[in-house]
Amino acid sequence: MSSAMYQRMRANPKFQELVARRGRFAWTLAVVVLMMFYGFVMVVAFSPASLGQPVTEGSRLTVGVAVELFMFIFFWVLTAVYVKRANSEFDELTQQIVKEAWKEEK
């Protein structure tokens, strides 16, 4: 690809839309992950006894282990959500941008 083609792609309004939408989505997911992770760390730091409580009376499973397991699964789900959206919406926009740049090249 020529540098002129890259310039056309960057000038395309769909490219600006792609960058903005993907960036907003990635930052949203990052904020969710960081809030959950650091929230958990803050609970560990300031109220560790609450995490050591059993989930139910007589249970060996503690609140801390249950929360951490939930977080682990939730982070995998968020990754799957991002991949699904990237493979559909973001890839579709990327293909349109490339297609339009190739048309202009010819």
pLDDT tens-digit profile, the chain (106 residues)? 568 778 888 888 999 999 999 999 999 999 999 999 999 999 999 999 999 999 999 999 999 999 999 999 999 999 999 999 999 999 999 999 988 888 776 6
pLDDT, residue 4, reads 79
> What's the token pair of residue 93?
């926009």
Domain ranges of the chain: 3-37+68-105
Residue 24 pLDDT:
97
- AA identity, residue 50: S
Length of the chain: 106
- The Cα–Cα gap between 53 and 74 comes to 22
**What is the pLDDT at residue 105?**
66
Instruction: Note whether 22 and 91 are within 8 A (CB).
Output: no
Q: What is the dihedral of CA 77, 80, 85, 88, to 10 degrees?
A: -150
For 31, list phi and psi in degrees, rounded to 5. -65, -40
Instruction: Give the per-residue pLDDT at 106.
Output: 62
Return phi, psi of residue 52, to 5°. -85, -5
